[in-house]
């Protein structure tokens, strides 16, 4: 299963998280969303977002100023 890619580079807080939340709503439980962002605040924002919503922040990394976040949608239990 491949990740769905959401490119929010150039957008600032809170737009990356809001766009990711919208994308996750249309995805099935267990599917993964890869978010590409350039806003440094996105690191803390996505950690808090996942903690508060129950989605799993599987991984995050930064390369050349672009942050990549992999989020697995929570089970609908």
Under a CB-based contact definition with an 8 Å cutoff, are residues 31 and 73 in contact? yes
Report the chain's terminal Cα–Cα distance, integer Å. Answer: 22
Residue 50 known to be catalytic: no
Set 11, 13, 27, 41: catalytic member: 13
Under a CB-based contact definition with an 8 Å cutoff, are residues 32 and 63 in contact? no
> Which positions are annotated as active-site residues?
13
């Amino acid at each position: 299963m491949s990740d769905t890619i959401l490119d929010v580079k150039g957008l600032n807080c809170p737009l990356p998280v809001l766009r990711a939340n919208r994308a996750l709503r249309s995805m099935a439980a267990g599917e993964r969303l890869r978010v590409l962002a350039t806003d440094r605040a996105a690191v803390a924002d996505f950690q808090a977002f996942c903690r508060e919503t129950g989605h799993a922040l599987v991984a995050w990394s930064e390369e050349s100023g672009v942050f990549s976040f992999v989020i697995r949608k929570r089970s609908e239990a």
